Structure 1
Amino acid sequence: MTQTLTGENLRAAKAKKVAVVGAGVAGSTIALRLAELGIDTTLIEKGPSLVNGPPFCHLHAGGNLYREISDQQCLTLLQQSIDTTKVYAQSINVRPTVLAVPTSDPSEPLDLLPRLEKLRAQYQVLVDQDASNEVLGKPADYFRLYDRAEIEAIGQRPLPEQAQCDEDWLVAFAKQVNLDTIKFPLVVVQEYGLSAFRWAAIANLAIDRLPSCHLQTHTSVVDIRRSETGKGWQIITKPASRNLESTVNQDVQVTEYDYVVNACGFKSGELDDMIKAKRQRMVEFKASFVTHWPECQGLWPEIVFHGQRGTPQGMAQLTPYPGGYFQLHGMTQAITLFEGGLVASSEQSAQPRLAPHFIKKIDEQWPEHLVTERTVSNIAHIAKFIPDFKSAKTASKPLFGAQQIPGEDPDLRAADVSFDQQGYARAEIVKASSALATADAILKDLLETGVIKSELAQHYLTKHYFPVTKQCRSDEITKLAEQFARDRHYPDALARNFS
């Protein structure tokens, strides 16, 4: 019999209080996971709304964008992406990803084949275990190879208005990509798009409807310290819009919690420093660029032109949205990457120190000349493969942010959580699809350490219980996602799914 949030279960879950500091993709997911089970959760966010951190646009259901990461990381990302799709289905842009190897690149397309076969086999295992895991299409279709003759034949077809099959996504590609610039076979893989604005809308709608979740926006954490009992924590907050020096005493709030989750993203080290916790981590500032290509015709898949990161031939990534809008990455120092943009923590502080000009970009405004310069460079980077793309124009400010990477490996992509002192957890995701695994690990720790005693939570420890989150309607998600896009000065198109 399905358990529900009533009676003794609900009272037991509410007996203790959990604070989640930071309402990005990780913090909001953790808060939803706990609050859906009736656990008293306070979500504290310095900004005005949820999921307003570093941009994301890709589900990474297999991690095939990254040739340099281990097979195990790719398998982890596959599992995490399947779970994420089942919970946040309304934020997924269902379209394939094309992986192309440029003729200038030293590697070959078939170098990817052993990994792809492992991923396909594991996807089949997961579907055999639970039919609901089949969210990326049929396992047999997880990837497909196309030779040049097949792509040229697809290019002879008329442009479809809607995709009835995966190959419909390849028609525009086949017509407009300079096939002489890439090696064959071409790889098409079922890694889908992921909308940050739609994820933000889902999180806001669901949290508003969950009585166990208390959202505090525009709120800064001034300090965190052990409670006098030595078991819980005191969190000291103040309004984020005010300067600490000018804040009057009554504006500072001291609240007791039994458990604290540090979900502060690239600023996680600041909370670690408050409780004198040591942690090795890196922070990397990155940006992607939003363009409009009015001459765009047909449906476009996600396209990744592989390349050597940090060189002028770095990876080029084109992410499509409705209406001819595209989000672009160019993994070169002149585009997405920045000189001095990767920094590490020190023996004195767990917080890596980005240069002031990066913090200014995050907190204030990008110089217009820099936006134009880097966007034009990115357009040219894509136009090497799609010549007509040279007519694309800058559509908005960049999507940007600082990404945390726990440990000392800058190539780490599959990461979730670490635990330090009793009752203190760090969300340390690198990719958005890892957020749910982080929430699962924290729920397990709450139960194993006895902070929470709830039959309902125990029952759903290995199952994802998100009845409120999954009830959010597509129309209300789109409406709020579009509002978020406008509020953050981006085109509405980035909040819409293809239909």
Structure 2
Amino acid sequence: MNDNCLSILKSKRIAVIGGGIAGSTIALRLTGLDINVTLFEEGSSLVNGPPVCHLHAGGNLYPDISNEQCFTLLDQSIATMKIYPHCINKRPTVIAIPQRDASNIEHLLPRLELLKQRYKDLIQTDESNNVLGDPDDYYKMFSREDIERLKNKSQPDKITDFSDWMIPLAKTLDLETIKYPLLMVQEYGLSLFRIAASTELSLQASPTCKLLTNNKVTCVNYSAKNTWLITHTENGKQTTTEVDYLINACGYRTGVIDDMADTPKERMVEFKAAYITHWEQSERWPEVIFHGERGTPQGMAQLTPYPNGYFQLHGMTEEITLFKNGLAKSTDSSAQPKLDKSFINKLVQGWDKQESDDRTQKAINHITQFIPNFTNATIAGKPLFGAQQIPGKDVSLRAYDVSFEGQQYARAEIVKASSALTVADQIIYKLFNLSHEQLAECCNVDTSFTSLSESEINLLACDIADHRNYPRSLAKI
């Protein structure tokens, strides 16, 4: 890229509204190009939103989405691992089909083969994409006989293969409740608190980023000078900031800024929650997902492990993770879907303890259908919760990234956290009219993301967990 193009990039001013995983990653990507960025976040810290647990598991967790969405999720997950290496929980994911479910593992095999080949192709293109292990070991199937053999084994201190990971599940699973084979996939976890710490530390250290937490944007206007005027408030003091480009990364409140900017867009917002439990375990667990029909009492059950016996639970039923009337749609008069007041109260004021405990206990009971000993698990904190935006009308959409209005306004519209880097690059291509090749020449993608030390991330991640009243174990690898 020539010096003139670089100087044009560095002369531009960009505002990013919203410091979730999308807004924070976009800001980091832009500052890596020495672009002047102002990041507005209403809260006191970054990346505080809907619960995350895995990078994608797209080919397995969401059997109804298209192969193209799965490929996109895989590509994005690999990119996320490369830029957030300190934020990855490296453990595989087990997929189990309950006896009561109409599906079977064999239905997933063609897609898994496609994903394995996609992973191989990505490694051949760039060896640095080899972040999920040997592509020939991308997945493994376990027969009932395999599980029976593992029941009496002890997990070694050093885990070297899939069978080692399967041992704790083999010991506790009700073998009569599921179909065989079981499937284990090399899909890793993503730590919300460590991403919050990583982005905050990186942006605070960046000479081209102005990080404004505790700042609420109250108005945006497009001026006669072809610039955006951002009015924002901090501690009752109102200020206006002028920028050349505006990026709306407000998550479930994206429609609020769209309304201010008079840029209507159809979308949905869905309120979701996951639940924190403690179950004393001496062995290291994989993530475990039991398929089920969304929204029914037999909805998917998901067990996500963290250190020191903590587990995050999902149950895709209206009594657990989903909520009756928890899905809202935009209208002709507003781009912002209107959630019921009860959900807004949760988002702003927090949960009623009785409802929190009741739903957590139902999540525990949901898991005990398949792992009876999980009845000994205890409630270990308030739910992880938030509202997730879904562009358009398809509630099953998982791979989506960005949309534009004119040349100077962009919306980050991610559904999965791993899409954030793709959004950042698409914005750069569009707003600055750059090619992929020009952008690749401009800087090292990974430099500004990976220079942090493990100790400083640990310290801040644990502090953020403390501040948000969650167990510190959720902030640890």
Q: Secondary structure at the match of 1:181?
A: coil
Alpha-carbon deviation of 1:266? 0.3
Q: CA deviation at 1:10?
A: 6.6
Pairing partner for 2:257 from 271, 278, 296: 271
Q: How many Å separate the matches in 1 of 2:18 and 2:270?
A: 18
Write the letter of the residue equivalent to 1:163: I
Among 311, 322, 335, the residue aligned to 1:337? 322
Q: Shift of residue 145 of structure 1?
A: 1.1
Look up the match of 2:67: 71
Contact persistence 2:59–2:112 (CA under 8 A)? no
- Structure-to-structure mapping, 1:215-234, within 5 angstroms: 215-229=211-225, 231-234=226-229
Matched with 1:204 is 200
Corresponding letter in the other structure for 2:231: I
Deviation at 1:82, TM superposition (A): 0.6
Shift of 1:468: 2.4
Q: Report how far residue 116 of structure 1 moved.
A: 0.7
Q: In 1, are the aligned partners of 2:89 and 2:190 still within 8 Å (CA)?
A: yes
CA distance in structure 2 between the aligned counterparts of 1:210 and 1:55, rounded to whole angstroms:
27
Aligned counterpart in structure 1 of residue 353 of structure 2, from 360, 363, 368: 368
Displacement of 1:297: 3.2
Q: Which residue is equivalent to 1:238?
A: 233
Partner of 1:496: 476
Please state whether the residue corresponding to 1:460 is helix, strand or coil. Answer: helix
Size of the aligned set, in residue pairs, is 477
Which residue of structure 1 aligns with residue 424 of structure 2?
Answer: 439
Spell out, residue by residue over 1:25-80, the C-alpha distance to the aligned partner (whole angstroms, 9 max, x if none).
00000000000110000000000011011121111154421122111111110011
Output the amino acid matched with 2:151: G
CA distance in 1, matches of 2:207, 2:289: 42
**Cα deviation per residue 1:82-136 (whole Å; 9 max; x = unaligned)?**
1111111111111110000001111111111111111111111111111111111
160-169 or 32-41, which moves further after superposition? Answer: 160-169
Structure 1's consecutive aligned runs of 4 or more residues displaced over 6 angstroms after TM superposition are 7-10
Does residue 177 in structure 1 map to residue 173 in structure 2?
yes
CA distance in 1, matches of 2:27, 2:59: 26
Report the CA distance between 1:169 and its aligned residue.
Answer: 1.0
What is the CA–CA distance in structure 1 between the aligned matches of 2:249 and 2:273, rounded to whole Å?
A: 21
Q: Determine if contact 1:285/1:337 at 8 Å carries over to the other structure.
A: yes
1:391 aligns with 2:376: yes
SS of the counterpart of 2:61? coil
3-state SS in 2 of match to 1:252 = strand
SS of the residue corresponding to residue 77 of structure 1 reads: helix
- Write the distance in 1 (CA, Å) between the matches of 2:5 and 2:475: 37
For residue 89 of structure 2, the aligned residue among 90, 93, 96 is: 93
Q: Is 1:291 the equivalent of 2:286?
A: no
State which of 395, 398, 414 in structure 2 corresponds to 1:413: 398
SS of structure 1 residue aligned to 2:156: coil
Measured in 2, the distance between the counterparts of 1:407 and 1:253 equals: 34
Which amino acid is the alignment partner of residue 254 of structure 1? T
- What residue is the counterpart of 2:44 in the other structure? 48
1:34 is aligned, of 11, 21, 30, to 30
Shift of 1:463: 7.2
Q: Give 2:260's aligned amino acid.
A: M
Look up the match of 1:252: 238
What is the match of residue 146 of structure 2? Answer: 150
| Alignment correspondent of 2:125 | 129
Which whole-Å CA distance do the structure 2 matches of 1:74 and 1:461 have between them?
28
1:144, distance to aligned residue in structure 2 (A): 1.1
- 1:281 & 1:464 partners in 2: Cα distance? 35
Q: Distance in 2 between matches of 1:101 and 1:307?
A: 8
Partner AA of 1:491 in structure 2 = P
- Tell me if structure 2 keeps the 8 A contact 1:161–1:299: no
Give unpaired runs (5+ residues) of structure 1: 243-250, 450-454
Q: Which moved more, 1:463-472 or 1:141-150?
A: 463-472
For 1:61 and 1:179, the matched residues in 2 are separated by 23
Residue 463 (structure 2) aligned to one of 470, 479, 483: 483
Percent of residue pairs bearing the same amino acid type: 50
CA–CA distance in structure 2, aligned partners of residues 142 and 436 of structure 1:
23
TM-superposed deviation, 1:8: 7.2
Contact 1:160–1:299, Cα closer than 8 Å, also in 2: no
The residue number in structure 1 matching 2:452 is 472
Decide which moves more: 69-78 or 280-289.
69-78
| Residue of structure 1 aligned with 2:363, choices 378, 381, 387 | 378
Deviation per CA, 1:290-327: give whole Å up to 9, x if none: 00112x23111000000000001000000001110000
Paired with 1:460 and 1:215, the residues of 2 have a C-alpha distance of 26
Q: Aligned with 1:268: secondary structure? A: helix
Amino acid at match of 1:484: I
- Deviation larger for 259-268 or 459-468: 459-468
Change (3 A) 1:140 1:417: same
**Correspondence for 2:184:** 188
Deviation at 1:365, TM superposition (A): 1.7
> What stretches of structure 2 of length at least 5 have no aligned partner?
none
Q: Distance in 1 between matches of 2:170 and 2:268?
A: 40
- Match status 1:404 vs 2:389: yes
Could you say what the CA RMSD is over the residues aligned between the two structures, in angstroms? 1.8
> Quick one: distance in 1 between partners of 2:90 and 2:137?
14
Q: 1:413·1:431 contact (CA, 8 Å) conserved in 2?
A: yes
Corresponding residue of 2:342: 357
Provide the rounded CA distance (Å) in 2 between the counterparts of 1:462 and 1:104.
54
Once residues 47 and 84 of structure 2 are traced to their aligned partners in structure 1, the CA distance between those partners, rounded to angstroms, is: 13
The superposition leaves residues 149-169 of structure 1 with CA deviations (integer Å, 9 ceiling, x where unpaired) of 111112221133342222211
Aligned-partner Cα distance in 2 for 1:338–1:464 = 43
TM superposition score normalised by structure 1: 0.93
Equivalent position SS for 1:179: coil
**Aligned counterpart in structure 1 of residue 17 of structure 2, from 17, 21, 35:** 21
Query: Is the 1:168–1:299 Cα contact (8 Å) retained in structure 2?
Result: no
Task: Give yes or no for contact 1:33–1:466 (8 Å, CA) kept in 2.
Answer: no
Measure, in 1, the Cα distance between the counterparts of 2:443 and 2:200: 22
How far apart, in 2, do the equivalents of 1:61 and 1:379 lie?
Answer: 22
Q: Output the amino acid matched with 1:413.
A: R
The answer (yes or no) to whether the contact 1:227–1:256 under 8 Å persists in 2 is: no
